[in-house]
Amino acid sequence: MQIIRGTISGASGPTVTVKGMNGAKMHTTALVGSGGLLGEIVRIQGEQVVLQVYEDTTGLSIGEEVVSYGKPLAVRLGPGLLANVFDGIQRPLEVLRLQAGDFIKKGMGINVLPDKTWEFIPGVKKDDVIEQGDIIGIVRENERVEHKIFVPPSSLSSPLNKGGIRGVVKEARKGKIAGDEPVVILEDKSVISLFHDWPVRQPRPFKQRLSPDTPFLTGQRIFDILFPVAEGGTAIVPGGFGTGKTVVEQSLARYAMSDIIVYVGCGERGNEMTEVLSDFPKLIDPSTGLPLSLRTVLIVNTSNMPVAAREASIFIGATIAEYFRDMGYSVALMTDSISRWAEALREISSRMEEMPGEEGYPPYLATRLGNFYERAGKVRCLGKEERTGSVTIISAVSPPGGDFSEPVTQASLRVAGTLWALDTGLAYGRHFPAVDWNRSFSLYYDSLKDWFAQKVASDAVLLRDNIMAILEREGELKEVVQLIGLEALQDKDRLAIETGRIIKDVFLRQSVFHEADAFCTMEKQYWMMKCVLEFYTRAKKAIEEGVYLEKILSSPVITRLMRMQDIPGNVFKERAEEILREMGTELIKIAKGE
């Protein structure tokens, strides 16, 4: 291993200039100063290099030594990731607190994953031929997740299987084994351990990228039906201050139908992350009844923590998500917020005196965002065993003043497949999720139509399209009302406005605090659409037969419709059928003048 040394010649915030580092390589790490602060080389000019330091640089002085071992910034992967809380460079915060108190000290080097033994159950035996991606055993990390141990894929940090070379098992151990100890020994004396490292900026390999043909179910009606994101897709959630971006992401982290959640708090306020850290261990996973934290990895880099570590945090989150994807799990990666990450990138770029782009962001902002979002996907994993995994990325975006034309939102829109645009007016009107259905879109919808038709109902797509048509018609009529008044409209048009109001207040609005409404099954979503559209169809027919709209709106059926979301999902179909029967009987009575 080549050791390269240099001395500090200048420092500006998180960036440090070093001279005398002849032979240094881009994007390798270095230990800076007497405190051994972790940094990464981001520019090379002859023997002079520039590092971004992931810790507070206060106190560094000219002439202090910098040492590089030529290793890239890497994340340690293995049992112990779940139910853990890391900072932006994957240091476990609870261990830091126990060793150094509530304030993180500089230059602390500690074990990333727990220093303990794990019960390893081998899945291979002597003389088996294995290759990269093959599962060699499992560790039951907790009662929620079966941690699969597999042959690490080829990488800069993995001497095994470089070039995809196969190996023959000489010995497969079992029982209590520490993370760095070998669990499988090969004939060529290579070993495989429970832990392995992976460079954070290098996407993990896979066999094949699959088409997005399955929705990522969230339990939120507006996300699942109107603007779905595919499993392995990307969605952005832009919105101004107070529109509920963090609440949306936390709701998805709790209720989304995924095996693993990786939540990255990137540059957010400390009190918001405190709420996450205190609430997540108490939350119960609705699908299993077990604590939600058992399937969650939290990465915390608040606004007062080192800015360079904020830039690295989302790539650490992506690498951990890909690791669980390679086991065959469906993983949801939540980043809150990508705008704070972009601000960190802008600050580092300005310290390096790079040519600024729009609004001071570096010209490569869109490229870096693309590199991150492209790590989402549904894939066929490496290994002889057939399995698929996925990483779905959902990013909150915080445009200043709610201006969606700013660079971070626009750069994200170029690569994201779904837009959930949050609206300040809806948020202040206590409408959750505060999604503007006029500005939002989903590029995955066409590829998901077959799934909805096969798994939900043959007419589910038609119902969804009719819901959207009524919302669009209601929007058009509202503009007319502003000119001529509501009374000037015909009853058919007023019915469209009233139906649009029911859709918005009943179908699109959900309560995260109401047990029956916080998570909505696809069956319940289907029958809610069916009830609303059946009301609209029958009421329109009654109006054509001469019934006044006021009589229809005074019907007790309206009250039943407005309370549909309070009905539990397990009995909703039966209740919906009752509502439909009552609706038909009531409207017939009204038409007869009874």
pLDDT single digits (tens) 363-389:
999 999 999 999 999 999 998 889 999
Counting Cβ atoms within 10 Å, is residue 78 exposed (0-12), middle (13-18) or buried (19+)?
buried
**Does 282 share its domain with 426?**
yes
User: Hey, is 103 helix, strand or coil?
Assistant: coil
**Does 413 share its domain with 471?**
no
- Let me know if residue 81 belongs to a domain: no
**Does 318 share its domain with 354?**
yes
More reliable by pLDDT, 156 or 80: 80
**Does 278 share its domain with 373?**
yes
Is the model's pLDDT at 153 over the cut of 90? Answer: no
Q: Which pLDDT score is estimated for 165?
A: 52
Is the model's pLDDT at 160 over the cut of 70? Answer: no
- Let me know if residue 265 belongs to a domain: yes
- For the record, the structure tokens of 558 come out as 């309206």
Q: Hey, which bits of 365-456 come out as E strands? A: 377-380, 388-397, 418-419, 441-442
**Does 342 share its domain with 315?**
yes
Q: Which pLDDT score is estimated for 116?
A: 86
Residue 1 banded pLDDT, cuts 50, 70, 90? low
**Does 219 share its domain with 368?**
yes
Q: Which pLDDT score is estimated for 243?
A: 87
Angle between helices 522-544 and 460-484 (to 10 degrees): 50
**How many Å separate Cα 403 from the centre of its chain?**
22
Plot region of 219 (φ>0 → left; ψ -120 to 50 → alpha; else → beta): left
For the stretch 333-351, pLDDT in tens is 999 889 999 999 999 888 8
For the stretch 46-86, pLDDT in tens is 878 999 998 888 888 999 999 998 889 899 999 989 988 88
For residues 313 and 291, give the distance between their C-alpha atoms in angstroms, rounded to a whole number. 25
Mean pLDDT of all residues in the chain? Answer: 87
- For the record, the structure tokens of 540 come out as 């329109």
Q: Which has the minimum average pLDDT: 11-25, 97-111, 466-480, 550-564?
A: 97-111
Q: Which pLDDT score is estimated for 290?
A: 78
Enter the pTM of the model. 0.92
For residues 566 and 276, give the distance between their C-alpha atoms in angstroms, rounded to a whole number. 27
- Let me know if residue 80 belongs to a domain: no
Q: Hey, which bits of 382-537 come out as E strands? A: 388-397, 418-419, 441-442
- Which of 170, 198, 226 is where one domain is finished? 198
- Let me know if residue 367 belongs to a domain: yes
- Which of 379, 409, 443 is where one domain is finished? 443
Q: Which pLDDT score is estimated for 281?
A: 72
More reliable by pLDDT, 234 or 486: 234
In three state form, how does the secondary structure of 240-263 look?
Answer: CCCCCHHHHHHHHHHHCCCCEEEE
**Does 233 share its domain with 343?**
yes
Residue 23's domain is classified under what CATH number? Answer: 2.40.30.20
Q: Which pLDDT score is estimated for 157?
A: 36
For the stretch 441-462, pLDDT in tens is 999 999 999 999 999 999 999 9
Q: Which pLDDT score is estimated for 465?
A: 95
- Let me know if residue 410 belongs to a domain: yes
For residues 478 and 485, give the distance between their C-alpha atoms in angstroms, rounded to a whole number. 9
Q: Are strands 208-209 and 377-380 parallel, antiparallel or unpaired?
A: antiparallel
**Does 63 share its domain with 124?**
no
**Does 397 share its domain with 340?**
yes
CB 30 within 8 A of CB 42: no
Q: Which has the minimum average pLDDT: 63-77, 463-477, 548-562?
A: 548-562
Residue 515's domain is classified under what CATH number? Answer: 1.10.1140.10
What percent of the chain has a predicted confidence (pLDDT) above 70? 96
Owning domain of residue 164: 111-198
Q: Which pLDDT score is estimated for 156?
A: 35
- Rounded average pLDDT over 475-500: 87
Residue 334: which H helix or E strand, with range? strand 330-336
DSSP 291: B
Is the model's pLDDT at 584 over the cut of 80? Answer: no
- Let me know if residue 189 belongs to a domain: yes
For residues 117 and 574, give the distance between their C-alpha atoms in angstroms, rounded to a whole number. 51
User: Hey, is 309 helix, strand or coil?
Assistant: helix
**Does 148 share its domain with 270?**
no
- For the record, the structure tokens of 396 come out as 């909150």
- Let me know if residue 483 belongs to a domain: yes
**Does 127 share its domain with 33?**
no
Cβ atoms within 10 A of the Cβ of 518, count? 16
Q: Which pLDDT score is estimated for 594?
A: 58
For residues 568 and 220, give the distance between their C-alpha atoms in angstroms, rounded to a whole number. 15
What percent of the chain has a predicted confidence (pLDDT) above 90? 41
**Does 150 share its domain with 183?**
yes
Is the model's pLDDT at 562 over the cut of 90? Answer: no
- Which of 18, 46, 73 is where one domain is finished? 73
Residue 593 banded pLDDT, cuts 50, 70, 90? low
For the stretch 265-288, pLDDT in tens is 888 777 777 777 777 777 777 667
The domain tally of the chain equals 4
User: Hey, is 200 helix, strand or coil?
Assistant: coil
For residues 55 and 594, give the distance between their C-alpha atoms in angstroms, rounded to a whole number. 77
- Rounded average pLDDT over 287-313: 84
